[in-house]
Amino acid sequence: MIKPDLTVNLGGIELASPVLAASGPFGYGYEYLKRIDCSALGAIIVKGVSARPWAGNPPPRLAETASGLLNSIGLQNPGLEQFEKEVMPRLKGMAPRLIVNIVGCDIGEYAEVAGRLDGMEGIDGLEVNISCPNLRAGGIAFGTDPAETFNVVSAVRRQTSLPLLVKLSPNVSDITVIARAAEEAGADGLSLINTLSGMLIDIETKKPLLGNTFGGLSGPALLPVALKMVWQTAEAVNIPLLGMGGITSAEDAIQFMMAGARAVALGTAFFYEPEVAEQVAEGLRGYLEKHEIDAIGKLEGIARKGGPADAR
Amino acid sequence: MIKPDLTVNLGGIELASPVLAASGPFGYGYEYLKRIDCSALGAIIVKGVSARPWAGNPPPRLAETASGLLNSIGLQNPGLEQFEKEVMPRLKGMAPRLIVNIVGCDIGEYAEVAGRLDGMEGIDGLEVNISCPNLRAGGIAFGTDPAETFNVVSAVRRQTSLPLLVKLSPNVSDITVIARAAEEAGADGLSLINTLSGMLIDIETKKPLLGNTFGGLSGPALLPVALKMVWQTAEAVNIPLLGMGGITSAEDAIQFMMAGARAVALGTAFFYEPEVAEQVAEGLRGYLEKHEIDAIGKLEGIARKGGPADAR
Amino acid sequence: MLSLSRSETSYNKPESCRVTIKQIVAPNYCRLTFKSPVVAGAAYPGQFVMVYMPREHKYLLPRPFSIFRLNRVREEVSILFEVKGKGTELLAHTKRGSQLRIMGPLGTGFPALPEGSLLVAGGIGIAPLVFLAAAEGKPCTLIYGARTASQLICPPDDLTLPNLTILEVTEDGSKGAKGSVSDLLPGLVSGAPALFACGPRQMLRAVKALCGHSGPPAWFSMEERMACGIGACLGCAVQTKTGYRRVCRDGPVFSAGEVFFDD
Amino acid sequence: MLSLSRSETSYNKPESCRVTIKQIVAPNYCRLTFKSPVVAGAAYPGQFVMVYMPREHKYLLPRPFSIFRLNRVREEVSILFEVKGKGTELLAHTKRGSQLRIMGPLGTGFPALPEGSLLVAGGIGIAPLVFLAAAEGKPCTLIYGARTASQLICPPDDLTLPNLTILEVTEDGSKGAKGSVSDLLPGLVSGAPALFACGPRQMLRAVKALCGHSGPPAWFSMEERMACGIGACLGCAVQTKTGYRRVCRDGPVFSAGEVFFDD
Ligand SMILES: Cc1cc2nc3c(=O)[nH]c(=O)nc-3n(C[C@H](O)[C@H](O)[C@H](O)COP(=O)(O)OP(=O)(O)OC[C@H]3O[C@@H](n4cnc5c(N)ncnc54)[C@H](O)[C@@H]3O)c2cc1C
Ligand SMILES: Cc1cc2nc3c(=O)[nH]c(=O)nc-3n(C[C@H](O)[C@H](O)[C@H](O)COP(=O)(O)OP(=O)(O)OC[C@H]3O[C@@H](n4cnc5c(N)ncnc54)[C@H](O)[C@@H]3O)c2cc1C
Ligand SMILES: Cc1cc2nc3c(=O)[nH]c(=O)nc-3n(C[C@H](O)[C@H](O)[C@H](O)COP(=O)(O)O)c2cc1C
Ligand SMILES: Cc1cc2nc3c(=O)[nH]c(=O)nc-3n(C[C@H](O)[C@H](O)[C@H](O)COP(=O)(O)O)c2cc1C
Ligand code: FES
Ligand code: FES
């Protein structure tokens, strides 16, 4: 029996496993990494970091929906300085690979964060969140406009030589336009998708359930939407994709790979099952063995016409 | 105890109940109306009708997802002539109010259908589907572009004096822009939302599960997305809204009304529970009685700042 | 022998029914019997029921199953199914005595069966054919094929009908003749006044080819994914000579000449 | 009296536990006991567990419940809960002997309780305070309030502790004194070395106001919607003097002076 190769190269980041922890649900990683065996994770993408501390949104920040979760954390984070002083040392040796998600109120802040992280030891890549729908004055504008996307990604690109992923928002008419703008601006890979914008109302108080009115929908509910966007984007760009959105099993992960993702990230699934990454990695291995496929990379894009995507 | 008033006026259509059957899942109505008591339904919106027959998409046309359904029916319909000759007579006396959903490959077809239906007896209103994501050459273009939306709605408006609803697509960056274009072109009301675009892949055959690759996601999975779009659109236009997307209970329906919908439509819920309309209407009545609210119209928009929306 | 009334359609709603018998007939195969005066009173062979999932589950759609056995006196209806995915897995865990919602009988079933007809079942396709043979009571021959013995799971009690001659065939020869349904058919098809088949697409395609123009009239029970189950949503389309038709309402039984298998 | 180890945090994963006792203690109130060496071995008062929903359900998130009773010898842990929505409804239908996944013990609980402390419970807020009183064993007084008698549902067997003096109070006077917790507090608060409270927001707000600056140190067990339960997602924020803090990790127990109730 073959021992399948699970390694992939995601825009310059060599990963021992194609299963990542998505930015946000996994926090900065330590809470989970104390509980679970992280060897199944190729990398963790830590929660968004801004130049100065962000307070986040008023509670309640969570609401459960059918097969989904609405959150309006609002990118609460301690800011770059504390991140460097307190978070990074704690992550030392703990994480497999570390990708830092970056956020900003304006292009200047994005660039500032990218520049400072560029020099920091222990960081394997950056993920630019141009898409978070939670923050009123935040990323939303960038991620829904190709020109703004180009500008912010270019600005970040100038500040860093680290592998650069750009995380796309699904709240757009045509994600491929944004994807191409990010590629042209120098992204090494694309992460998709972020949460879909949504809300719930408490019919007894007659008010929105979330303190911030709107939140982002994640979880299995949005999987088919995410999968389609990965498929479309894979046809539109020539850089690798990190697929995410509702993945809870190896079967889900394989769908994303067959649609064109090189690797996948898990988010909401950790809430239900902290050991989900092990389960997914184990399931991927099992699928490859059963089908006698020697490397996970061979699944990339095979469901799309023309078979195996251009292997890079 | 008060006996609450459930009647509403939806853009000129007087409805005895604010609970409608959405276009598509309910077909032309007879299959369901033979099985259920239709008195709970304010109106049925029949499946999209085009000028000439449309064959629809290749099977499989359905796929189940977590708390959702993907469909790619492809607007299969027998065309206007058969609709008039065979469908309309069968619906006589059966439906409470009848709203006909219209589709077209181009503006000419939309206008042609609208014109012919305008003269037909027994039709209480039209709903223009500018948003179906299923049809390759179809509605998608109109519903994602404000200028195209304006053009097609204007063309239809010129052909009919019937109350005119326009059904919006959620696959857009900003639904309010499209909503305002439809309003300016003369819509009497807006229906929202249609299905979100999505897909699934069969990991054994390594092919998309749907014969048409892409389909539309409906059901509880998308409720929070639909609710937010209703909320935003209610703030942007001055015509009444018909809210839909994942409603399966009175609690769900009330959320849509509190966000700004005058009435609601049920689609996918019928698959799980053919008697869902009765249950929802009963639940609405119960809520109003419990909270001593004498008319359903008083819920419209009360969760939005400023309380009760301008009552029209 | 039951009397059949094929012309009527009953317009039922889902009703909650007690599971009176639950039987794991083989690994991955389950037989459930429901108490349902409504279905038992109206169903004829080839019709199906929709079985609903519990409300708190993330699965929205009911699952279609052919009626496998019917007992008008006890007002019971049975289905026989293979565990394929999440819904059938859940159903296989149902406990005797619990309540499940079912809707039926649905669809247009088989026409009347002439004496000496040939029934062709592939795997779990056996289900509607047992009901057909039992209900009609006329002598007929059943070819019951599968890849391997463990897929020939119809309980002997259900299959042992006085009017039924059974020919088993497996591709690996682990039970009955070695080979496929198509190997047995040529010798039998010419003498039969009619053929009734249910099974995988490839099997039906092969049967259709073997019947050809000169063969007997053949009737196939088709499968397609369903949502409403009653003809409204147009989700269960199959391609036929006259365009897309609905498996749930125009079928599930179609004449072999009518349906296409080119995919 | 149990020995407590408040400094340690255990880093457990969800584990499948058998429900050894299930008791509907009153309409809409349920008590579940789990066999869990892990939780029973490590928990101290004020900590909570996450209870997971079955996988096929459309509810993704586990539900947080305070630990109500603990039996180190039998390795059992109990929760007491009110049926509020879909998750608690499902849990109330759990059968004895079935398996549920739980994760815990979680969070930062109560500090050590000085003799003569005042415990203040509003409705189902009783749960963590019973564990506190039972574990510490020191004499203390419990004010147990609710709107009406049917909400004072803590089983007498659990509440009858040798060290506990109980004052019941209901707003409608249907059980105990008539009035609210705030009516009883003024007379008791000044003599108490510490106060421990759990209950609705309005009650906590009133207790905080009554303690004021001169009152004893007070500790509140707070509630917020949770996803991870372990401090990662920042979903369970409450506003405090030092900004948003996590109920699941920094709490659920906070000092009264620290939390804000202005909403
Ligand atoms: C008219 C008819 C009669 C049938 N009779 C029987 C029978 O007697 N015994 C039996 O074992 N099976 C029968 N089937 C097939 C049975 O419906 C599917 O195996 C079952 O729905 C699979 O559900 P699942 O949740 O386990 O699979 P999943 O793959 O988890 O289901 C996902 C979705 O796909 C649908 N689906 C998956 N496979 C099929 C299929 N082959 N046909 C239709 N829908 C499918 C499900 O209904 C569900 O909506 C019949 C199908 C039809 C259309
Ligand atoms: C630390 C802590 C300890 C708790 N201890 C107890 C206890 O001992 N006994 C008890 O009866 N209840 C307790 N609660 C409240 C309990 O968690 C909720 O009543 C329960 O989660 C409601 O779930 P549901 O599915 O019935 O409600 P739904 O409204 O259907 O739940 C929807 C979502 O909202 C969340 N939610 C709803 N209400 C609350 C709430 N008040 N607090 C937190 N999340 C909520 C649910 O967890 C779920 O994710 C505690 C809460 C916290 C945070
Ligand atoms: C609680 C929570 C917090 C999140 N925070 C971030 C974030 O800080 N930055 C970001 O780019 N995405 C964030 N996301 C989005 C996730 O990374 C992911 O794109 C999304 O949840 C879809 O994946 P899932 O369905 O597997 O969770 C967050 C999601 C959740 C649920
Ligand atoms: C099977 C199916 C067919 C549909 N056909 C149409 C259609 O013909 N015209 C249309 O405007 N919308 C159509 N829709 C969309 C629904 O009317 C509705 O907007 C959508 O399903 C969301 O509501 P729901 O979640 O309650 O189903 C269809 C939906 C489904 C599931
Ligand atoms: S399943 Fe709806 S038409 Fe057949
Ligand atoms: S629930 Fe995730 S941080 Fe508290």
Average pLDDT across chain B, whole number:
92
Q: Tell me which residue has its CA closest to atom 18 in ligand 3.
A: A194
Q: Which element (helix H / strand E) includes D50?
A: strand D48-51
The CATH number of the domain where A222 resides is what? 3.20.20.70
Residues 6+ away with beta carbon under 8 Å from A17? A6, A7, A39, A40, A41, A42, A96, A281
Cβ of residue C58 closer than 8 Å to a chain D Cβ: yes
Residue A147 lies in a domain: yes
The label of the residue with tokens 């066999």 reads: D35
Residue A2 lies in a domain: no
Which residues of chain D have a CB within 8 Å of the CB of B66? 58
Domain that holds residue B173: 8-311
Cα–Cα dist D213/D192, whole Å: 14
Which residues of chain C have a CB within 8 Å of the CB of B32? 228, 230, 232
Q: CB A225 to CB B217 under 8 A? A: yes
Residue A1 lies in a domain: no
Cβ of residue C234 closer than 8 Å to a chain B Cβ: yes
Cβ of residue B193 closer than 8 Å to a chain A Cβ: no
From C47, C63, C248, C250, the mutation candidate for ligand 5 (largest count of ligand atoms within 8 A of CB) is C248
Which residues are registered as beta bridge partners of B128?
Answer: B102, B166
Cα–Cα dist B243/B190, whole Å: 8
Cα–Cα dist A23/A21, whole Å: 7
Cα–Cα dist C91/B309, whole Å: 47
Cα–Cα dist D206/D212, whole Å: 10
Residue in C13, B288, A271, B51 with CA at minimum distance from that of residue D64:
A271
Q: How far is the CA of B131 from the centre of ligand 5 (A)?
A: 22
Cβ of residue D57 closer than 8 Å to a chain C Cβ: yes
Give the pair of three-digit tokens for residue A71: 């959150």
The domain locations on chain D are 15-106, 117-221
Whether D190 shows a pLDDT value over 90: the answer reads no
Residue D189: per-residue pLDDT = 86
From C49, C103, C106, C246, the mutation candidate for ligand 5 (largest count of ligand atoms within 8 A of CB) is C246
Whether D211 shows a pLDDT value over 80: the answer reads yes
Residue in D210, A197, C218, D246 with CA at minimum distance from that of residue B228:
A197
Whether C214 shows a pLDDT value over 90: the answer reads no
Task: Estimate to the nearest angstrom the gap between the alpha carbon of B149 and the chain centroid.
Answer: 17
Residue B295 lies in a domain: yes
Whether the bond into B107 is cis, omega within 30 of 0: no
Residue A272 lies in a domain: yes
Which residues of chain A have a CB within 8 Å of the CB of C58? 66-67, 220
Nearest CA-CA distance, residue D202 and chain C, Å: 32
Which residues are registered as beta bridge partners of C77?
Answer: C34, C70
Cβ of residue D58 closer than 8 Å to a chain B Cβ: yes
Residue A37: per-residue pLDDT = 85
Cα–Cα dist C89/B43, whole Å: 38
The half-sphere exposure of B298 on its side-chain side, counting CA atoms within 13 A, is 12
**For residue range B214-259, what is the model confidence (pLDDT) as tens digits?**
999 999 999 999 999 999 999 999 999 999 999 999 999 999 999 9
Cα–Cα dist B133/B169, whole Å: 8
| DSSP string of C8-30, one letter each residue | -------EEEEEEEEEEEETTEE
Residue A40 lies in a domain: yes
Give percent above pLDDT 90 in chain D: 84
* Closest ligand, as measured to the CA of C236: 5
Q: CB D232 to CB A220 under 8 A? A: no
Fold of D117-221: Rossmann fold (3.40.50)
Cα–Cα dist D91/D51, whole Å: 9
- The pTM assigned to this predicted structure is 0.95
Which residues of chain D have a CB within 8 Å of the CB of B67? 58
Whether B136 shows a pLDDT value over 90: the answer reads no
Residue B137: per-residue pLDDT = 43
Residue D210: per-residue pLDDT = 86
B 216-255 near C (Cβ less than 8 A) = 219-220
Residue C148: per-residue pLDDT = 94
Q: Are the C-beta atoms of D41 and D15 separated by less than 8 Å?
A: no
Give the pair of three-digit tokens for residue B221: 């999975």
Whether C17 shows a pLDDT value over 60: the answer reads yes
Q: CB B68 to CB A221 under 8 A? A: yes
Sign of CA dihedral B224, B226, B227, B231: positive
> Can C15-106 and C117-221 be said to share one CATH topology?
no
Residue B1 lies in a domain: no
pLDDT in tens, chain A (312 residues): 678 999 999 999 999 999 999 999 999 998 998 888 888 999 999 999 999 999 999 999 999 999 999 999 988 999 999 999 999 998 888 778 999 999 998 889 999 999 999 989 999 999 999 974 434 444 456 888 899 899 999 999 999 999 999 999 999 989 999 999 999 999 999 999 999 999 999 999 999 999 999 999 999 999 999 999 999 999 999 999 999 999 999 999 999 999 999 999 999 999 999 999 999 999 999 999 999 999 999 999 999 975 444 333
The label of the residue with tokens 């067959």 reads: A258
Whether C119 shows a pLDDT value over 90: the answer reads yes
Cα–Cα dist A56/A53, whole Å: 9
Q: How far is the CA of C154 from the centre of ligand 1 (A)?
A: 18
Q: What share of chain B is helix, strand, coil (3-state, %, to 5)?
A: 35, 20, 45
Number of structural domains in chain B: 1
Residue D7: per-residue pLDDT = 52
Confidence at B308, pLDDT banded by 50, 70, 90: very low
| DSSP string of chain D, one letter each residue | ------S-------EEEEEEEEEEEETTEEEEEEE-HHHHHH--TT-EEEEPPPTTBS--S-EEEE--EEETTTTEEEEEEE--SHHHHHHHTPPTT-EEEEEEEESB---PPPTTEEEEEEGGGHHHHHHHHHHH---EEEEEEESSGGG----HHHH--TTEEEEEEETTSSSSEES-HHHHHHHHHTT-S-EEEES-HHHHHHHHHHHTTTS--EEEE-----SSSSSSS-TTEEEETTEEEETTTT-BEEETTTB----
Q: How far is the CA of A255 from the centre of ligand 1 (A)?
A: 21
Q: Are the C-beta atoms of B168 and B175 separated by less than 8 Å?
A: yes
Residues 6+ away with beta carbon under 8 Å from A63? A69, A70, A200, A209, A210, A215, B224, D225
Cα–Cα dist A36/C41, whole Å: 56
User: What is the residue type of A297?
Assistant: G
Q: CB A66 to CB B221 under 8 A? A: yes
Task: Estimate to the nearest angstrom the gap between the alpha carbon of A294 and the chain centroid.
Answer: 26
Task: Estimate to the nearest angstrom the gap between the alpha carbon of C130 and the chain centroid.
Answer: 8
Cα–Cα dist C232/C245, whole Å: 12
Residue B309: per-residue pLDDT = 42
Count of residues making up chain C:
263
Residue B307: per-residue pLDDT = 46
Q: Which residues of B are the active-site residues? A: 132
C-beta atoms surrounding C6 within 10 Å: 14
User: What is the pLDDT averaged over residues B83-98?
Assistant: 89
Residues 6+ away with beta carbon under 8 Å from B155? B107, B108, B110, B111, B114
Q: Are the C-beta atoms of A224 and B217 separated by less than 8 Å?
A: yes
Residue B157: per-residue pLDDT = 97
Which residues of chain A have a CB within 8 Å of the CB of D232? 25-29, 31-32, 270
User: What is the pLDDT averaged over residues C238-252?
Assistant: 95
Fold of C15-106: Elongation Factor Tu (Ef-tu); domain 3 (2.40.30)
Q: DSSP assignment, residue A123?
A: -
Q: Which element (helix H / strand E) includes B231?
A: helix B223-236
Selected for mutation to probe chain D from C52, C53, C56, C60 (highest D CB count within 10 Å) is C56
Helix axes A146-159, A107-118, angle to 10 degrees: 30
Cα–Cα dist B157/A308, whole Å: 49
Single out the catalytic residue among A10, A33, A80, A132: A132
Confidence at D94, pLDDT banded by 50, 70, 90: very high
Q: How far is the CA of B160 from the centre of ligand 1 (A)?
A: 45
Cβ of residue C56 closer than 8 Å to a chain D Cβ: yes
Neighbours of chain C (3+ CB pairs under 8 A): A, B, D
Cα–Cα dist C58/A249, whole Å: 15
User: What is the residue type of A211?
Assistant: G
